[in-house]
Amino acid sequence: SQKIEQNSEALNIQEGKTATLTCNYTNYSPAYLQWYRQDPGRGPVFLLLIRENEKEKRKERLKVTFDTTLKQSLFHITASQPADSATYLCALEKTGGFKTIFGAGTRLFVKA
């Protein structure tokens, strides 16, 4: 069955460092991979989309890589700030698909 794996353990880093979150998937060939941020008790908020034919995407302090051979995406937040503390969700969608499927998310804590 389709499976998305994100590190279930929380990631604790110091302010100013780069946070790197991992998303691995199996039994799936996504055309699109998205990253969302979710704060406690709130709905997810879209951050970045990367397509299967793209290797890397950047937006301000965020960078996403997509390796369809390894079936893996890495999500980087550079110069991290305490305000970046949240849960980050990886999501996949096929071309012409009707549903976006989500991983369980990784909780990030940035300490001042």
Partner 1 sequence: ETGVTQSPTHLIKTRGQQVTLRCSSQSGHNTVSWYQQALGQGPQFIFQYYREEENGRGNFPPRFSGLQFPNYSSELNVNALELDDSALYLCASSLVMGDGGELFFGEGSRLTVL
* Minimal distance, residue 8 CB to partner 1, in Å: 9
* Minimal distance, residue 58 CB to partner 1, in Å: 17
Q: What gap in Å lies between CA 46 and CA 89, rounded to an integer?
A: 9
* Minimal distance, residue 77 CB to partner 1, in Å: 19
Nearer to partner 1 by C-beta: 15 or 54?
A: 54
Nearer to partner 1 by C-beta: 17 or 59?
A: 59
Closest CA to 86 of 30, 41, 23: 41
